Structures are given as structure tokens and as C-alpha cells.
Homo-oligomer: A and B are copies of this chain.
Amino acid sequence: MIIDCHGHYTVLPKAHDAWREAQVAAFNAGTPVPPYPDIPDSEIRETIEANQLRLVKERGADMTIFSPRASAMAPHVGDEAVAIEWATRCNDLIARVVAMYPETFVGVCMLPQSPQADLAGSIAELERCVGMGFIGCNLNPDPGGGHFTAPPLTDRFWYPFYEKMVELDVPAMIHVSGSCNPGLHATGAFYIAADTIAFMQLIEGDLFKDFPTLRFIIPHGGGAVPYHWGRYRGLADMLKQPDLSTHVMNNVFFDTCVYHQPGINLLADVIEKKNILFGSEMVGAVRGIDPQTGFYFDDTKRYVDNLDISAEEKAMIFEGNARRVFPRLDANLKARGL
């Protein structure tokens, strides 16, 4: 079974996107937010079947762990009430997709992390979504949108949220959103920088002493981390931290959203297979065809297929690790006899 741990609903019913624009405009104008539109199932089917579902099938995956469009989470827009309603609407749409295609999609929620707010709204939304069958969340380490003003992920600011994650036994993908910094391109700079920064925060701190069962996925192949694995091992040593294998890597996982074969080869070479989850970031950051290969850049299954590793290791990357990191997915699949 092939489970893509990193898919976003990026081609959406037009009425949903239009409502978001109206919501933000109403906030800026100080006028009431218009009611959320009735979106018929047919429109959801249309967007999903022409895009995500088609690509999942064409590329040979079985399931996608599906969350709202990351670049549009934009918690820095508006205030907390805006963020809460937007997260609710986006997550509800994911729930509808999952209800329509339960054999292919399973939900991960976004959170209403308004930069000035505490995490109470995010805790409530996580509980609500897990109640609807979601199996994890996307946690934004820089809800301010590109100036890295939030406390490090090891700060006690985040602890109430981590307590809820542990209680519900759900992991978080550490995922920033759109950039409001003209120097930081969202998918080319902000995402990769934030991934790298998050990992270094975890090296510096001792978060997993306090939360031994907390689990994070650092997407986009772990940012720069595998390429600089020697630097991170060396820095842990200089900071008198334990070896990364016990200090961080019982709790942190990288996806395979690295868009060329040499990158995936490096990932599988330096990072233990138990820490790698197949992911593609579809339909997302890079949509074109690689002229060097003739295949889509984000057809990452192809790169994993080409790895010179055992069938057991491939099965871990494609399925086993996702079931371990997302216990609610495992339970869901077992209930379906899978």
C-alpha cells in the first residue's frame, strides 16, 4: 500500500476561494462577513477528480493524507476570529472530501494560529477535527508569515498544544504558510528555511524529554537537514546534546518532497529508513515537467522506486512509517481490513 503523507487541497471550488476574499475584505472594511456559500458535492468532485484523485491514481499511490492548501492558511491575515472561521471552513471542506472518497483520502487539519493569540483556538479546532476522523495537523512554526517572530518550537508557549496532541495521539507536520516578506518566496525560500530552522530548534532544546511520544514530520525532505547532516550531528555534539538518533530522531520524520533523484538518494543514504515517509506535496509547489527526465518534478514515487534499498525498506517509506506515525490512520485502515 502506498500512502502519500503530504497532499494539499490546492485546486478548490471557486466559491470557497471567493468567500475567503470576501471574508478578508469584510475584516478590512469592518463590515459583517458574508455567509459561507453552499458548495454542492458536484463541485468538490470536479476539483478533486480532475486534480488530486487523477494524479494519485496516475502515479500509483493508494491514499493521500490530505490537508488544506498550505500557502493559503495565512494566519497572519485578519485577527483570531478570521483565522478560526477560515480554518473551520477549510477543514470542513477536507472532511467532505474524505467522506466522499474515504478509500483515498484521510484528513489532516490546519489550525487557527493567529500570531497574537494563544493556542486555545488551535486546541479546540484540533479536537473538533479529530472528532471528525482527522489523523493529524499542520502546525505553523511562524504564523507571522516570514519574519520568524514566534517562540522556538521548544518553548513552553507550545506546550498546551503538545499536551493535546499527545492526548489525542496525533502527529503534526511542521508547515509554514504564505510569506508576507518580499524577500522570502513561499515555496522556494520560506518553506525550506522554516523546515531547517525547526530542526535546529529541536536540537538546541530538550522537547522530547518532556513529550517522549510527540511526533513531528518536517516536510520538504527535512529542509536542508539531510544535506547538512554532518553539520547537525556536529552541532549536537558541540551543544553537548545526545546523539541525534536518540535526541531527536525517535520523534522527527522527514517526507520525500525532494524533487530530483540525487536528493532522494541522499535522504535515504543519511537518514534512517524508519524516519522517512513518502510524500509528494501534490498538487503544489512545483507543477512542471523536469526536462532532464521527462517526468513531473513532484512525481516523487518514481524517485523512491528507484532507490537501491530493500523491499522491506520501501514498504516502510511507502506505508509502515505512516501507519506508525499516524496511529489513527493505522486504526482506520485496520478497521477496513487493510
Binding site for B on A (CB under 8 A): 146-152, 181-185, 187-189, 192-194, 196-197, 200-201, 203-204, 220-221, 223-224, 226-235, 237-238, 258-260, 262-263, 265-266, 269-270, 285-288, 290, 292, 297-298
Contacts and interface: CB of A to CB of B under 8 A. Distances in A.
A285 B234 CA distance: 9
A81 to B, nearest CB: 27
A259 B286 CA distance: 29
Contacts of A286: 230-231, 234-235, 237-238
18 contacts: A151-B182, A187-B235, A188-B203, A188-B204, A189-B196, A192-B224, A192-B231, A193-B196, A193-B197, A220-B231, A223-B224, A226-B227, A227-B266, A229-B262, A231-B285, A233-B260, A233-B290, A237-B288
Contacts of A238: 286-288
A290 B234 contact: yes
A297 B234 contact: yes
10 closest A-B pairs by beta carbon, nearest first, are: A230-B260, A230-B259, A224-B224, A234-B286, A227-B227, A193-B193, A189-B200, A188-B200, A234-B297, A152-B183
A148 B147 contact: yes
B230 A263 contact: yes
Contacts of A237: 286, 288
A287 B234 CA distance: 8
A332 to B, nearest CB: 31
A183 B196 contact: no
Contacts of A220: 228, 231
A132 to B, nearest CB: 32
Contacts of A288: 234, 237-238
Among A147, A189, A193, A224, residue most surrounded by chain B Cβ atoms (within 10 Å): A224
B266 A263 contact: yes
Given A185-B200, A229-B260, A263-B266, 16 more contacts: A147-B148, A183-B197, A184-B197, A185-B203, A185-B204, A185-B235, A188-B204, A189-B200, A226-B227, A230-B286, A230-B297, A233-B260, A234-B288, A234-B298, A235-B286, A237-B286
A235 B231 CA distance: 27
A88 to B, nearest CB: 28
Contacts of A226: 227
- Tell which of A151, A262, A292 has the most Cβ of chain B within 10 Å: A262
A148 B263 contact: no
Nearest to A152: B183
Contacts of A197: 183-184, 189, 193
B147 A149 contact: yes
Contacts of A146: 148
Contacts of A201: 183, 185, 189
A168 to B, nearest CB: 26
Given A183-B152, A197-B189, A231 B203 contact: no
A221 B232 contact: no
A266 B182 CA distance: 30
